[in-house]
A and B are shown apart, each in its own frame.
Chain A
């Protein structure tokens, strides 16, 4: 890790994409129009659970202006067998989610699609498609899904994992158990044991930009796709799997992106658009409506979690036990494993048992959402910790300090932790004026902690030195949170040129090496590492060019603050050469200079945060107002502190919304009742106080500048922090989210 004094890293320049965005000139997913382009629309199931008996598209195809109508029959068979599953992705399920085949598994499931010359004609054509369904009872809750007489979503599904497992067809995809020690022995040595159950509802990522794509089919079978996504290489790969194409037959360009939060790490309309373009011979644009985003794209799981923790009178945890049930939506693959692995990770314990169930229900297949699975798990564990602190008469931060994991401690999911700053965040909270500030009537304060793994994975970067000495930094990661400027800052530091002389570019899949998607809080860490390596490659070449120019050994040339400097007795003979001078003479010394790096980044470093929340509860209306909020997080090192603070603030606000208001509300037939921002109540600026942030910097030793992931951890603590504050204000423990006004009033009435 660099120990030198830093000139650019840690500063707060204006983001390179800022002016275009402020002026409305930035191009998002829906902004691209191509000559001859058609408009695509998707027919979606009105039923949450139904067999598809027949689809008749004849009337739609006969309409003037309709150039293509497709159904599942226009797609290759869903992948199966070897190669159809990679990690958490089952491409067979993905294909069936993109376009239903035998069954509609949620209200909003794609059944057919149309490409027409106008959106109006496309909408008329959708109405002309005749679909015969056999409507089945929908499975809308975990309780119903697990009942012995529950309707089965997938007749072929058999539970996998550890016995005992349900026999025969089931809605349980997996049962997993992890842990170590002997929890019975641990609980027997406890002085206080608290066991509670917690529930959270299905919630959406709530990005402002609906999914949008334009696809063009080229005569040689290739396809070009322009879309808003968290990963252009991910779109390429997933479309290739769903459509049985070679990945390199598909070129994907990522637009600017108006939020994703994990929800744009899968494909929905992209393969549909390609098939429509192929069938019609014209480019096809599909832009989802807000309602489509809610009913047909990945929310995150509703959950039911039981947590039991035993402690000694001094607060030391003796044992912990948990059972987690997570909704996966219509296809297996909830984030229950991540919930299991994070649920007890902030705390040291010798005896732990964690059981998890992945359960399918008739809702959209869940997608990743910022620290997937962790916030609801933290809601449960932190809720029990808060109650334990209360029963022990301990300060809640002190109880955490007694048990907080340190470097070398074993995480509840097995491995030992490397260096991190969890305890530093707890100390920062204790020392923060917010923690000691007086509270008024009907007000309460809560604290809570959160953990997320963070990710490394594969990234590529090119650093191109231009003839004027400016540089272009090319990466393959869509910029969601200011990562372009963070890339530029690290390149500036290495090259020694001002950050405004560097142009960071997000390239398409044919213009830069493979990069995993923007997610897992990995881009500033992993892609940043690639940028640093590529910039070092440029500096190496610059030193070689200076050595050639001066006819000295390259070992006699140092790179200092954007200049080649002659050393070892040559300093008096040669004036330093600037990067601009060396770039300007590159033709004479060997040609253009560029550096590149592709790597699989290791050691992202764990993320820990502790948050403080103050609320006031209106006992007449049940409204909970957040008065003050402080987010404290170990970020390793902040490359651009404003964007780090922005991530901390954004995560906190999303978590507050999850805690207080957000929930999918279905009717008895499984139709979503609130698929709009008017009825799905997310926090807006006027609901929130300024979120205060405290950046703790315990550098991650595996990154050249000490970076650890930032973006996901801050959504983990708010759910419990808000609930604990409401508890202090009302005396009521809320163990079901959201803590909405009707629920508050009902609880106060009780």
Chain B
């Protein structure tokens, strides 16, 4: 199962956990499962965060595949110059 690592600001929404395991084959499934299990994450997910999948930052994730042991981080959108 993919491991979602949450920053301190989001841990309250997942009952204080730093890491949550989610069974998902891609980011769309992962997001959907997270919304179902943790409704308090809704606002964060609606804001369209970037994610990092195994170290690769993706600004607009949707169908990216996840490996069974993928590590996913939610990150703020960063603008470049």
Contact = CB atoms under 8 A, between A and B. Distances in A.
A409 to B, nearest CB: 10
Interface string A680-712: 000000000000000000000010000000001
Contacts of A88: 76-79
B60 A600 contact: yes
A371 interface: yes
A369 B58 contact: no
A417 B56 contact: no
B81 A371 contact: yes
B52 A414 contact: yes
B80 A520 contact: yes
B71 A161 contact: no
Interface size class of A (residues with CB under 8 A): 35 or more
B7 A87 contact: no
A376 to B, nearest CB: 14
Contacts of A603: 56
Given A87-B48, A162-B9, A178-B9, A418 B55 contact: yes
Contacts of B55: 415-418
A179 interface: yes
Contacts of B77: 87-88
B22 interface: no
B75 interface: yes
Residue of B71, B75, B80 with highest tally of chain A CB at under 10 A: B80
Contacts of A418: 55-56
B60 to A, nearest CB: 7
Interface stretch (A40-48, A334-342, A657-665): A334-342
A368 B73 contact: no
B36 interface: no
Contacts, number: 99
Interface in B56-80: 56-60, 64, 71, 73, 75-80
A176 B8 CA distance: 9
A261 B75 contact: no
B71 A265 contact: no
Nearest to A230: B81
A456 B5 contact: no
Contacts of B73: 413-415
Contacts of A519: 79-81
Contacts of B56: 415, 418, 602-603, 702
B54 interface: yes
Contacts of B48: 86-87
Interface in B1-55: 5, 7-9, 18, 47-48, 52, 54-55
A415 B52 contact: yes
A371 B78 CA distance: 10
A176 B71 CA distance: 22
B60 A178 contact: no
Contact of B79 (A368, A454, A702): A368
B78 A457 contact: no
B72 to A, nearest CB: 9
Contacts of B7: 177-178, 414
Contacts of B18: 180
A647 to B, nearest CB: 12
Nearest to B80: A520
A390 B64 CA distance: 46
A98 interface: no
B78 A338 contact: yes
Given A88-B77, A179-B8, 11 more contacts: A85-B47, A86-B48, A337-B78, A372-B80, A415-B52, A415-B73, A415-B75, A453-B57, A453-B80, A519-B80, A712-B81
28 contacts: A85-B47, A87-B59, A87-B79, A88-B76, A162-B8, A162-B9, A178-B7, A178-B9, A179-B8, A261-B81, A338-B79, A341-B75, A368-B81, A372-B80, A413-B73, A414-B5, A414-B7, A414-B75, A415-B52, A415-B55, A453-B80, A456-B58, A456-B59, A457-B59, A519-B80, A520-B79, A602-B64, A712-B80
The 4 closest A-B pairs by CB, nearest first: A520-B80, A262-B81, A87-B77, A415-B52
